Amino acid sequence: MTAVDPDPFSGPTREVYRQTLLDIARSDPRIFCVDSDVGGLEDGFGREFPNRYVNVGIAEANMIGISAGLAAAGLIPYANTMSAFATLRACEQLKIDVAVNRLPVRIVGTHGGLSAGHYGHTHHAVEDLAILRTLPNLTVIVPADGRETANAVRASVDLPGPVFIRLGRAATPPVYAGPYDFVVGRAVELRPGRDVTIIATSALPVSMALGVAETLAGDGISARVVNAHTVRPLDEAAILRAARETAGIVTVEDHVLAGGLGGAVCEVVCGAHPCPVRRVAVRAEQAEIVGDERSLLEYSGVTAERIAAEARQLLDGVRFPREGEGTDGGGRNFDGALS
Amino acid sequence: MESVAVLAERARRCRAAIIAMGASEHGAHVGGSLSCADILTVLYSRVLNVRPDEPSWPGRDWFVLSKGHASAALYAVLSESGFFSPAECLTYGKNGSRLAGHPLSSLPGVDFPTGSLGHGLSLGVGVALAAKRSGGSNRVFVLLGDGELQEGSNWEAIMSAAQFDLDNLVAVVDRNGWQITGRTEERMRLEPLADRWRAFGWGCVEVDGHDLAELCAAFQALPISTGQPSVVIARTVKGSGVPIFEDRKKSHYVTLTDRLYRRAMAGLNGDRR
């Protein structure tokens, strides 16, 4: 029996990240790991590179400030916490100390979107992208799977200025079957299509979009699927191609409507090539109910049915919002019924 | 080495520049700038290893003005030290100037923009940690306001500096006892301040922040304790050097009229009326 290498990209994206970080640190002495006691780094990175690892304790604001200092002194620090804490607790340090200064700090925010699942809404990050999109000079990457996480981490090393990489918690389905061309700021067309375009970001939304495109194909609808892994700078060319070549765009994200991917796509098309855009996003009220990531996403209004319905209605020429569209759309309760 | 008398005259010129910036259209944080004028003069004259003609020289000591509202004092001292022309101080607060109410990193000698309180010490910890880990001899000085210590982020930074044994990091507290609406102790108590720093693992010394010789001696005896970060608590007087502003709440932010400017300058030059 031949031993088969386990797929290095199949685990949770945060584990892929940790391995990739170790790997790049082996050949690049500028890489420094700043931990806010999140777990999983001390035994790996901390053990192999004790001189390039520091645990600041449970102190995210201090961590970002320290990281800015490390970067100003010539290092490339990777600062580690959950996305909710990085973007809110340490928001001002992110803005003033890191972003305004264009310092090469790489912030890796895990538990993005609703991936914290049963942890509850204190640990969910569904407004992080809106915050990050407004900060100057910041590149924001949301990998769709483990392979893309590794690509993003490797690409982040030498990017000018600060970078935020938003990851999940538990393992999610692979989006890529093999190597592909990853370029920061260039969206990936995962599936060609001519009728309508679904643009998604983050692991489960991208997986959902692919599933919906398959469903729509069964009805004779050709849906293009685009993975906007870089939320900032957004791939305007890919969005405008979608606007020109298909009837319109459906966006999908694990983030609230305000300021997320859907809003960003609207900002691109509204001036250059207006087209119908339907936004499938998480409703603003925080879930006061327990659920795993997929259940919470569906509960919050991001369902395959809804994405498919938005695509169909867009194609039907429904140009005006129906009740609930584009605001806080219906979700699915845990019995599976759509509300 | 320059004599204390030379430093005193330099500090006086810095105060004159601060007063002039306070007399500009938008005014300045005059009181808290005057209170740290002697500290900054000593740091830039005797302590910091910097190259004004090469501000980003990798071997330099770093200075972070965490109490960014004292920008007028920093501009006065940086221009005295040759980072830019003293004439540029006249552009303070004017449209298109590099001299803002809180320092911008576009200005030579400013590594970090500061002004939102409670940021500087974390930045200093990062720079000092980088120097330690890479074997550099750089030291990092962070000037903090006393009221600023009410920001909790400082105490995260204070804990971490001690945890990481950063004896190349020096905090200086401009302990003038005032914040915008009143005495610090009446707003949110800081005392026993020295004990608090010591309890957090810092070497601590208290000095008269207007005694140039005492400041020089304190800065020459760093680190206070090997393996520990150092804090110099400088007891200062808000508005120091200008009798009409000394130890007065109203000196916090002043836009000087022509008449007030003349009185302030006369007071600075020894007329205590």
Find the CATH number of the domain harbouring A265: 3.40.50.920
Say if residues B246 and B15 touch (Cβ distance below 8 Å).
no
Q: Quick check: A104 pLDDT over 50?
A: yes
In a domain, A7, yes or no: no
| A96 neighbourhood in chain B, CB within 8 Å | 113, 116, 119
Report the gap between the CA of A22 and the closest CA in chain B (Å): 18
Contact B113 A101 (CB under 8 A): yes
pLDDT of residue A5: 64
Beta bridge partners of A279: A251
Question: Which residue stretches of B192-257 are H helix?
Answer: 193-199, 212-220
Q: How many CB pairs under 8 A join A and B?
A: 93
Reading the block at residue A260, the tokens are 């997320």
Strands A139-141 and A230-232: antiparallel
Question: What are A280-329's pLDDT values in tens digits?
Answer: 999 987 778 899 999 999 999 999 999 999 999 999 984 444 554 454 55
Last residue of a domain, one of A136, A166, A196: A166
Q: What letter would DSSP give residue B60?
A: P
Residue A194 and residue A143 share a domain: no
> Which residues of chain A make contact with B124, given a CB cutoff of 8 A?
69
Specify if A196 maps to a domain.
yes
Cβ-proximal residues to A321 (8 Å cutoff; 6+ apart), any chain? A327
| 3-state per-residue secondary structure call for B21-47 | HHCCCCCECHHHHHHCHHHHHHHHHHH
Name beta bridge partners: A224.
A197
Name residue, tokens 């071997």.
B59
Picking from B58, B105, B163, the nearest residue to A101 by CB comes out as: B105
**Chain B interface disruption, residue of A66, A67, A91, most B CBs within 10 A:** A66
Nearest alpha-carbon partner for A91 in B194, B153, B130, B217: B153
For residue A173, is pLDDT > 90? yes
Please tell me the distance from the alpha carbon of residue A100 to that of residue A92, in angstroms, as a whole number: 10
pLDDT range class, residue A4, cuts 50, 70, 90: low
DSSP B3: -
Q: What is the pLDDT, as a whole number, of residue A287?
A: 75
CA atoms of B101 and B109, how far apart (whole Å): 16
The residue in chain A having the minimum alpha-carbon distance to the alpha carbon of residue B160 is: A56
- Distance from the A59 Cα atom to the nearest Cα atom in chain B, whole angstroms: 6
| Minimal C-alpha gap between A279 and chain B (Å) | 36
Query: A155 and A192: one domain?
Result: no
Which domains occur in chain B, in start order? 4-268 (3.40.50.970)
Residue-number span of the structural domain to which A75 is assigned: 13-166
Q: Are B110 and B74 in contact (CB under 8 A)?
A: yes
Whether A152 and A205 map to the same domain: the answer is no
- Cα-trace Rg, chain B: 17
Three-state DSSP state, A137: coil
Q: What is the pLDDT of residue A327?
A: 47
Q: In the predicted model, is pLDDT for residue A332 greater than 70?
A: no
Residues B149, A98 contacting (CB under 8 angstroms): no
User: In this structure, is residue A332 part of a structural domain?
Assistant: no
If you average pLDDT over residues B159-171, what whole number do you get? Answer: 98
Q: With respect to residue A322, please indicate whether it lies within any of the assigned structural domains.
A: no
Residue A138 domain-assigned (yes or no): yes
CB atoms within 10 A of CB B262: 12
Same domain, A149 and A210: no
**A320-329 as b/e, with b when 16 or more CB fall inside 10 Å?**
eeeeebbebb
Cross-chain CB nearest to A62 (options B127, B130, B156): B156
Segment B234-245 shows an average pLDDT of 97
Distance from C-alpha of B207 to C-alpha of B194, rounded to nearest angstrom: 11
DSSP B224: S
pTM of the model: 0.94
pLDDT confidence of residue A339:
46
Do A244 and A210 reside in the same domain of the chain? yes
Tell me, what's the pLDDT at B117?
98
Sign of CA dihedral B205, B208, B210, B214: negative
The answer to whether the CB atoms of B130 and A75 lie below 8 A apart is yes
Greater confidence, A339 or B94?
Answer: B94
Contacts of A132 (CB under 8 A, 6+ apart): A87, A94, A138, A140, A164, A166, A231, A232
Residues 33-72 of B with CB under 8 A from A: 58
B123 φ, ψ to 5°?
-60, -45
pLDDT of residue A331: 63
Residue A183 lies in a domain: no
Comparing alpha-carbon positions, the chain A residue that sits nearest to B120 is A65
pLDDT tens, position by position, B49-88: 999 999 999 999 999 999 999 999 999 999 999 999 999 9
In the predicted structure, residue B257 carries a pLDDT above the cut 50: yes
Clarify whether residues A138 and A270 are in a common domain: no
Q: How far is CA B75 from the centre of its chain?
A: 11
Q: Is A190 helix (H, G, I), strand (E, B) or coil?
A: strand
Please tell me chain B's helix, strand, coil percentages from 3-state DSSP, rounded to the nearest 5.
45, 15, 45
* Same domain, residue pair A297 and A225: yes
Nearest CA distance, B188 vs chain A (angstrom): 22
Which residues of A make CB contacts under 8 Å with B?
32, 51-52, 54, 56-57, 59, 61-62, 64-75, 77, 92-93, 96-97, 100-101
Q: Which residues of A touch B153 (CB under 8 A)?
A: 61-62, 65, 93
- C-alpha–C-alpha distance, residues A270 and A279, integer Å: 14
Asked if A53 and A132 sit in the same domain, the reply is: yes
Measured between CA atoms, the residue of chain A closest to residue B57 is A73
pLDDT of residue A317: 82
Residues A143, A51 share a domain: yes
Residue A194 has a CB neighbour count (10 Å cut-off) of 12
Q: Reduced to 3 states, what is the DSSP secondary structure of residue A166? A: strand
Distances (CA, A) of A5 to A42, A145, A151, A175, A262: 26, 19, 19, 19, 39
- What pLDDT sits at residue B192? 98
Q: Is residue A84 located within the same domain as residue A117? A: yes
Chain B residue whose CA is closest to A64: B122
Summarize the confidence of residues A80-88 as an average pLDDT. 98
Q: Does residue B124 belong to the interface with chain A, where contact is any CB pair within 8 Å?
A: yes
Tally of structural domains, chain A: 2
Whether residues A105 and A42 fall in one domain: yes
Report the C-alpha gap between B117 and B94 in whole angstroms.
23
pLDDT bracket for residue A266 (50, 70, 90): very high
Answer yes or no: is A329 within a domain. Answer: no
Looking at the fold, whether A213 and A111 belong to one and the same domain comes out as: no
Q: Does B197 touch chain A (CB under 8 A)?
A: no
Helix or strand run (H / E) with residue A278 = strand A277-282
ipTM topping 0.90: yes
Contact A93 B122 (CB under 8 A): yes
CATH number at residue A56: 3.40.50.970
Question: Above 50 in pLDDT, residue A270?
Answer: yes
A41 in any annotated domain: yes
